[in-house]
Structure 1
Amino acid sequence: MKLNYQITPAPQAATIPVVLLHGLFGKQDNLGLLKQHLMTQYSVISVDLRNHGLSEWHSEMNYHAMGEDILALLAQLHIPQAHLIGHSMGGKAAMAVAIQQPTQVASLTVADIAPVSYQQDRHSAVFAALQTVAKKPEVTSRKDADTLMSQHLAEPSVRQFLLKSFSNDSPSHWQFNLDTLATHYSDIMGWPFSADQQYPGPVLFIKGGASDYLQPEHQPAIMNHFPNATARVIPSCGHWLHAEKPALFNGIVERFLQQVS
């Protein structure tokens, strides 16, 4: 499975690199502000996960496969160990890597997601909006796509996030594999690992204060998998905390990496 990625050179040879993993419907530049913040201290690898961005499309879409993709990329780049940072689906993919190969993960930062299964209708309006555009081959502009999507999605910020992946080079208008994401949505919202599978290294969970993705009832699952986990809350922001409060988010991540390096 060939993943598209961008890598910045290491500012110093001994630095363990950082891998950034985006969320569902995203691509590698979604965490661009964090990349710019960290690249003066670390080599940073921004990745398009399978079926997203410019990475290969594949009919399989689950966290075992995504974890194996990332491990294969690290092997390709001759990187024995990395700090992993993931948002939402990318956070679950990062957790999957840490559980499958804990010695290859120097630390884990998870943004606004828990190692649990979520309800299956969280993105029904998003899929409806995306599929409305996909069924209209005559749509050639983001403006027209935005108008169509507004029939299903009232929030302009959500539409603008999705429209970052609008492309006339794709038959579906989207740079992500919409059909496979819809088919395997239950796998994406699920969590396939048993409670006894652990990563013992340092872990930071960062929650958006107004988001419902990380809840107190998720704490037992978190501690089962990640006994050395700590948490921070960024107030007055939602699920896209890295975009809503970038300075605060970036500072929290930087300080954590300094503590564990």
Structure 2
Amino acid sequence: MKLNFKKSGSGEPLIILHGLFGSADNWFSIAKELEKYYTLYLVDQRNHGESPHSDEWNYKVMAKDLNELMENEKIESANLMGHSMGGKTVMNFALQYPEKVKKLIVADIAPRHYPVHHQSILEGLTSVKLQEIKSRKEADDQLAKHISEAGIRQFLLKSLGRDKDGNFIWKINLPVINDQIENVGEALDYDANFENPTLFMGGANSKYIQEKDKEDIDKYFPNNHLIYIKNAGHWLHAEQPQAVVETVKAFLK
């Protein structure tokens, strides 16, 4: 699948993948700092952003999508960074195509299985009557019945777009995501490991990377370094962008 991406900057390639319900746009503020040092590729994964929709949606095919992008862009090897679902994608990619990854950065996700915990978000997104709403405010009002946190609603509403006739649509492939949401929580299952430097960057206030995860991290990524960003939860790049930028720069040097 040919993914949508935004390219900027110069230097060694750094490819960044967003998380579930997100898009390349989530990383713009980070990109403004990092593009001074790297050629950045901010990627929309399949069924998200401006990339194509597909009924097939799992980490194996998302890793293949990334490989196709690198081949099309003639990138022999790159530094990879992924947040949450994007972190699982780049972990899978590094284990399948280790020769194509210089350094790996995984933001607030571990190799283990995660149970489905996005039910209220999916219910909220599904509840929005796209054919009836006249404004983003109306969509927000409908989402608020299921999701109380305004910040989460604003993040989700970035995926609200319009079709060629001006009607509201979700840019994400909501039916497939809803039907296959368990795929996002899948654990890594390989007989291989990735030996190049790997940074696991967690939010200090998040529970996504726990002490019990160190065994799996060491198994698949023996050359790893685990750090926590202070005063940050799961959305560490939005909550502490400067700390994330400095951490990424220090690791990639």
Above 0.5 in TM-score?
A: yes
Aligned to 1:24: 20
Distance in structure 2 (CA, Å) of the matches to 1:169 and 1:209 = 40
Aligned to 2:8: 8
Aligned to 1:156: 150
Note if 1:167 corresponds to 2:161.
yes
Alignment of structure 1 residues 1-261 onto 2, 5 Å:
1-10=1-10, 15-120=11-116, 122-133=117-128, 135-169=129-163, 173-194=169-190, 196-258=191-253
1:129·1:152 contact (CA, 8 Å) conserved in 2? Answer: yes
Distance in structure 1 (CA, Å) of the matches to 2:239 and 2:98 = 31
Question: Which one has a larger percent strand, Structure 1 or Structure 2?
Answer: 2
2:9·2:37 contact (CA, 8 Å) conserved in 1? Answer: no
Amino acid at match of 2:161: S
Distance in structure 1 (CA, Å) of the matches to 2:36 and 2:244 = 17
Normalising by the residue count of structure 1, what TM-score does the alignment of the two structures yield? Answer: 0.93
1:140·1:168 contact (CA, 8 Å) conserved in 2? Answer: no
Instruction: Give the drift of 1:16.
Output: 2.3
What is the aligned-residue RMSD (CA, Å)? 1.3
Give the stretch that moved more between structures: 104-113 or 27-36: 27-36
Distance in structure 1 (CA, Å) of the matches to 2:216 and 2:134 = 45
SS of residue in 2 equivalent to 1:220? helix
Distance in structure 1 (CA, Å) of the matches to 2:99 and 2:197 = 12
Distance in structure 2 (CA, Å) of the matches to 1:39 and 1:9 = 4
Distance in structure 2 (CA, Å) of the matches to 1:150 and 1:185 = 22
Instruction: Give the drift of 1:173.
Output: 2.3
1:48·1:55 contact (CA, 8 Å) conserved in 2? Answer: yes
Amino acid at match of 2:180: H
Distance in structure 2 (CA, Å) of the matches to 1:172 and 1:100 = 38
2:160·2:168 contact (CA, 8 Å) conserved in 1? Answer: no
Amino acid at match of 1:168: R
Amino acid at match of 2:213: H
Normalising by the residue count of structure 2, what TM-score does the alignment of the two structures yield? Answer: 0.96
1:16·1:81 contact (CA, 8 Å) conserved in 2? Answer: no
Instruction: Give the drift of 1:136.
Output: 3.9
Instruction: Give the drift of 1:192.
Output: 4.3
Gaps of 5+ in 1: none
SS of residue in 2 equivalent to 1:173? strand
Q: Deviations over 1:17-75 (max 9, x none)?
A: 00010000001111112211111111101100000011011101100100000011000
Counting matched residue pairs gives 251
Amino acid at match of 1:243: A
Distance in structure 1 (CA, Å) of the matches to 2:139 and 2:52 = 24
2:124·2:143 contact (CA, 8 Å) conserved in 1? Answer: yes
Instruction: Give the drift of 1:141.
Output: 1.5
Cα separation, partners in 2 of 1:192 and 1:110, compared to 1, 3 Å? closer
1:18·1:85 contact (CA, 8 Å) conserved in 2? Answer: yes
SS of residue in 2 equivalent to 1:167? strand
Instruction: Give the drift of 1:9.
Output: 4.4
Amino acid at match of 1:47: V
1:63·1:192 contact (CA, 8 Å) conserved in 2? Answer: no
Distance in structure 2 (CA, Å) of the matches to 1:84 and 1:184 = 25
